[in-house]
Amino acid sequence: MKSISLALAALLLSTPCASADLLLTSKSHTDAYELFGKQVPVKDSTSTLWLAKDRLRLESENMHAIVRLDQKRLILLDPEEKAWRAITLPFEFKNYLPPEKLFMAEQMFAARALQAKLEAKDETKKFGAWDAKCWEITLSQRGFVYSKEVLWVTSGIQADSKVYGEMQAALASITPEQRNLVKELGRIEGLPVRRERTQNLSGVEVRTVEELVTAQEKEAPAGIYDPPADYTERPYELLRKAPPVPLPGTGGK
């Protein structure tokens, strides 16, 4: 499982948003590492997140998605296939599986469920123009630590935390194993400006640092919150090959 992107973590903002949409741009850096004898090179990427009153558009290396609370829909975009798949909100995985696979899926999701521990720290630090507070997030599974991260959040950027929290939860909910983390994320108030994560991949520690580069109020391009006109609608299948879903407040490596 991949963690959620830093731009997506911006859904946890604490004050009302202005009439203009908000464009968040983040950058991510993952150190080189070796896994099963294979050298994995350094990786750098950027992500963007458009936020409006009741909708968002996320574009990252791992996920392209639209959330429309007004339509009660989450739309997953597949640029390679040029297809889009709609999910009715709130997401219920049983609606996207044939009856014969329900028992297997329930057992699998229960076995893979991640436990989440979130701790607010007394530390504060300044990143550029933003004063930030510190949180630590630990994800584990049956005593095995999957990832640890230090998250720095600021309250200096305006948005509606409740509404954007709903959109964040919608994105995370399509990975049922993440439900414990989703329950805890509402405790974090503010926009993440930096995140430092160490993830355990088969005993190999992989370090990723993500930073918020810009937060701009802008007029969104026409149609940005709708599927592209040249994409074809396809049915959503839960156990089909799916993009890793970023977790709010964490990274999207």
Number of helices (H) and strands (E) in the chain: give both, helices first: 4, 14
Token digits of residue 246: 């970023």
pLDDT of residue 16: 41
Burial of 183 (0-12, 13-18, 19+ CB in 10 A): exposed
Give 18's pLDDT tier (boundaries 50, 70, 90). Answer: very low
The CA distance from 91 to 166, in Å, is 12
Token digits of residue 78: 């597949």
Q: What is the mean pLDDT of residues 105-128?
A: 91
Share of the chain above pLDDT 90, in %: 54
Query: Residue 252 pLDDT more than 60?
Result: no
Query: Residue 15 pLDDT more than 50?
Result: no
Give 19's pLDDT tier (boundaries 50, 70, 90). Answer: low
pLDDT of residue 240: 64
Domains of the chain: 6-233 (2.50.20.10)
69-83, 134-148, 179-193: range with lowest mean pLDDT = 179-193
Q: Cα torsion at 91, 86, 60, 229 (round to 10°)?
A: -160
Mode of pairing for the β-strands spanning 204-218 and 21-30: antiparallel
pLDDT of residue 186: 74
What average pLDDT does the structure give for the chain? 85
Query: Residue 2 pLDDT more than 50?
Result: no
Distance of CA 172 to the CA centre of its chain: 6
Of 53, 91, 70, 63, nearest to 179 by C-alpha is 91
Token digits of residue 137: 């997030």
Q: Say which residue the tokens 């696979």 belong to.
A: 101
Query: Residue 215 pLDDT more than 80?
Result: yes
Burial of 38 (0-12, 13-18, 19+ CB in 10 A): exposed
For residue range 164-206, list pLDDT tens digits in order: 667 877 888 888 888 888 788 778 887 789 999 999 999 999 9
The CA distance from 27 to 50, in Å, is 15
Q: E strands of 89-184, at which residues?
A: 115-127, 130-141, 144-154
CA-angle at 59, arms to 119 and 74, nearest 5°: 80
pLDDT of residue 13: 42
Give 5's pLDDT tier (boundaries 50, 70, 90). Answer: low
Token digits of residue 146: 């999957």
For residue range 20-34, list pLDDT tens digits in order: 899 999 999 999 999
The CA distance from 222 to 218, in Å, is 12
pLDDT of residue 77: 97
Share of the chain above pLDDT 70, in %: 85
Query: Residue 14 pLDDT more than 60?
Result: no
**pTM to 2 decimals?**
0.80
Give 74's pLDDT tier (boundaries 50, 70, 90). Answer: very high
Which among 91-95, 156-160, 212-216 has the top mean pLDDT?
212-216
Cβ neighbours of residue 71 closer than 8 Å, sequence gap 6 or more: none
Q: What is the mean pLDDT of residues 71-90?
A: 95
